[in-house]
A and B are shown apart, each in its own frame.
Chain A
Amino acid sequence: MAKWWERLSKSQLLVPLSALLLLVVFNLFRDIGFFSISLAINNDGNTVLQGNLISILDGASELAILAIGMTLVTASSRGQDISVGAVAAIAGSVFVRVLRGNEITMSVILGAFLAACVAAMICGLFNGALVSVFKIQPMIATLILFSAGRSIAYWINGGATPTVDSPLLNYIGKLIPGIPIPSPILIVIAFGVLVSLVLRFTNLGLYTQAVGINEKSAHLNGINAVGIKLVTFMIIGVCAALAGSIGVCKIGLINHEKILLDIEMDAILAVAIGGNALGGGKFSLKGSVIGAYVIQALTTTLYAIKVPSTQVKAYKAIVIILIVVLGSPVIKAYLARLRDSKLRPIINRLTRKPANAMENES
């Protein structure tokens, strides 16, 4: 028990998990019905799971995908990509443009997605080249696409809100008949598994951390630091393309001004809540994904207690500050000192006594 607690208290998952726990406990006391999940029949006649938990998981899909990419970029480049929302808008526009140009079949959707991926990867390559070759701070380098991206997205389709309509798109954005779980949740799981497998069986994760911790020594050890940074920026491009495509499929149209608005801020927040240092280096994808769900759970909870949507931001800010204050190095060090001076003797006494008693018996 003590060992398990020690491992958790040192793990960086402590902050996101305790934030999630706090939200769960708050909702338990407020209204236990918050957690109810029910089967219902939707307008198309398909059975679907409904409930706040499902809507949290469903609503956080894009954020979770982007948080994965943001974690890698943060780890390798010691900075954040603030253009993800704009790049997702570009990718979504390319997706819609290809779909509108052809009759929608499954292979066309796949082709449109690949085209979106290519467009987003070019954006990622542009950002990555500025960061790695020209040594510009990531936030500044991505500020360019942040300010120009949504206008480029508008230019791709040449219209305000082009719509696409097909039952096949609903399979991606809403749900596949026969499976009651919304498909975005399944896509997030598949993507998460894919990324963790890649990190598990290749050196990408290790090299990314090495570049983030000390670029010079990584370079001296034969790691292509420029290449690693480019790769992470291209990965976040793919993440943005996936998130943008899901966003388009969910509502069947693209509004270049509104789609995934402010998501870059939430994605960076997810990375920070996940206990990752924004200064790069070691990272935990699990933490970031949990962070993304914490943010969405917080938003849903605020809606559930009847906070108007425009005011949600203010309450969110207060909770964010509380979380980061608790996770700040100064407070953590203070708590650790408090634990060592006050709690440790008690734990020691509790754990040692039975051992002494057993010795006495033998």
Chain B
Amino acid sequence: MTSKQENLSGASGKTIREPISNTNLLLAITIGTFFGMYALAMLVWGGGFLNPQQFLDIFNNNAFLIVISCGLTVVMITGGIDISVGGVTALVTMSCVVHLNSGNGSVLGSLIMALGIGLAFGLIQGLLVSYLEIQPFIVSLAGMFFARGMITIISNDPQTAGLESFLALKAFRIVIPGIGYYGKTGNFIPASIEPGVVVAILVVLAIFFMLGWTRFGRNLYAVGGNMQSAMMLGINVKRTKFFAYLLSGLLAGIGGFVYLLHTGAGDAANATAAEMQAIASSIIGGTLLTGGVGNVIGTLFGVLSLMTINNIVRASGLRDPWWQSITTGLMLCFFILLQSVILSVREKKTTIALPAWMMIRRRT
């Protein structure tokens, strides 16, 4: 892309600077806001925000949210939506705990179970959405209802996993060398992350490279941007959409396992409203619900921003739980308005300054 641009500019003898794309601009704003917010929090409240462990805890507590938000971003890029992810996450935690406690359960078995449940949801929802052309909202709504209902059919009461090998994996921490904090007694405690965080980061990187550098990833943007033109370019629109939902289901399964690694318990109230948090994170990260625009790095920073603002609200003394949802709403409002204004301003600009080669050539 850039080399082509250089050739163009070289040929015309002028230096044309390619304007930053909408995706990258929204991404830059999100990342900038996150770092700005965190720096401000460090300056104003100091204390906990200066503690590297508190920063890493944002990852530790929300690794599952990062994973399912990535899946949702992929679906939203195609112009669809999947609100079943929270329900699937909770269903996976419950089924895995029941499997682990059944006496002949194993960690590997529960992992396969998690992936299987996620894939099954993705498979059925993908088939219904792409091949039967049913509205994705309704399909995934039914998926959410089904998952939430199934949890109570499996077990009505919350359960805690008790298998030795699983507990060992759950207690495992990856120590980050070099950084840490001093405990109350003055001893140095190194900062650490949970295995789920590694999974989340790997998922983000995998989806990032898939979206940017694979045929499937580019097809997703094409389908979401304009389905008609994608079809005319010979892209198999239905298959692309199907795999997007399959991927989202799979990631919800992985997210469920990561959630289980963090809490170790299955409960019908697990991951409540996680789908809405995931949608909010994707939007803050610059993904448009209309499709065609989005980036998982943005989504990652969306999750981080959403959780940092909650920490800030708590640090500033507003400890009532209802303050958090109000600030989440305000933050969402700010980003949505910002995106809307930026996009409309840029749209006006680009219509005025069309590059010369795109103009219709008049016959003389």
Do A and B assemble together? yes
Task: Name A residues whose Cβ lies closer than 8 Å to a Cβ of B.
Answer: 80, 130, 134-137, 139-141, 143-152, 154-155, 265, 268-269, 272, 278-279, 308, 310-318, 320-321, 324-325, 328-331
Interchain Cβ contacts under 8 Å between A and B, 10 examples: A80-B137, A135-B344, A139-B81, A143-B332, A147-B276, A154-B322, A313-B146, A317-B144, A317-B146, A324-B134
Cβ of B245 to closest chain A Cβ, rounded Å: 14
Is A144 within 8 A of B329, CB to CB?
yes
Q: Are A330's CB and B132's CB within 8 A?
A: yes
Q: Once the chains bind, are A268 and B329 in contact (CB under 8 Å)?
A: no
Known: A130-B336, A330-B131. A148 touches B328 (CB 8 A): yes
Which among B133, B137, B148, B326 is the interface contact of A152 at CB below 8 angstroms? Answer: B326
Name the A residues within 8 Å of B229 (CB-CB): none
B315 interfacial contact with A, CB 8 Å: no
Complex: chain B residue closest to A126, CB-CB: B333
Residue of A nearest to B83 (CB): A265
Residue contact A313 to B329, C-beta cutoff 8 Å:
no
Partner of A328, one of B134, B141, B289: B134
Residue pair A148, B329 in contact (C-beta under 8 Å): yes
Given A135-B344, A269-B141, A278-B138, A312 and B322 contact (CB-CB distance below 8 Å)? no
A134 to B138, CA, bound (A): 26
The smallest C-beta distance from A274 to any residue of chain B, in angstroms, reads: 12
Q: How far is the CA of A226 from the CA of B138 in the complex (A)?
A: 27
Beyond A265-B141, A268-B138, A331-B132, list 7 extra A-B contacts (CB 8 Å): A134-B337, A139-B289, A150-B325, A314-B146, A317-B146, A320-B138, A330-B131
Instruction: Known A134-B340, A268-B141, A316-B149; judge A325-B128 contact (CB<8 A).
Output: yes
Number of interface residues of B (CB under 8 A): 45
CB distance from A356 to the nearest CB of B (A): 42
Q: For chains A and B in complex, what number of residue pairs have CB atoms within 8 angstroms? A: 130
Q: Is the CB of A272 within 8 A of B135?
A: yes
A268 touches B332 (CB 8 A): no
When chains A and B are docked, how far (Å) is the Cα of A148 from the Cα of B328?
7
Which of B133, B146, B323 interacts with A329 by CB under 8 Å? Answer: B133
Nearest neighbor of A152 in chain B, beta-carbon distance: B326
Shortest C-beta distance, B310 to chain A (Å), equals 12
Given A137-B290, A268-B138, is A311 in contact with B149 using a C-beta cutoff of 8 Å?
yes
User: Smallest Cβ distance from B132 to chain A, in angstroms?
Assistant: 4
Q: Is B247 an interface residue (CB 8 A)?
A: no
> Contact at A147–B153, with CB atoms within 8 Å?
no
The 8 Å CB contact of A147, one of B138, B148, B332, is B332
- Min Cβ gap A74→B in Å is 11
B289: chain A residues at CB < 8 Å are 137, 139-140
A320–B84 Cα distance when bound, in Å, is 14
Do B142 and A278 have beta carbons less than 8 Å apart? no
What CA separation (Å) do A268 and B137 show in the bound complex?
A: 9
Among B131, B148, B336, the residue within 8 A (CB) of A140 is B336
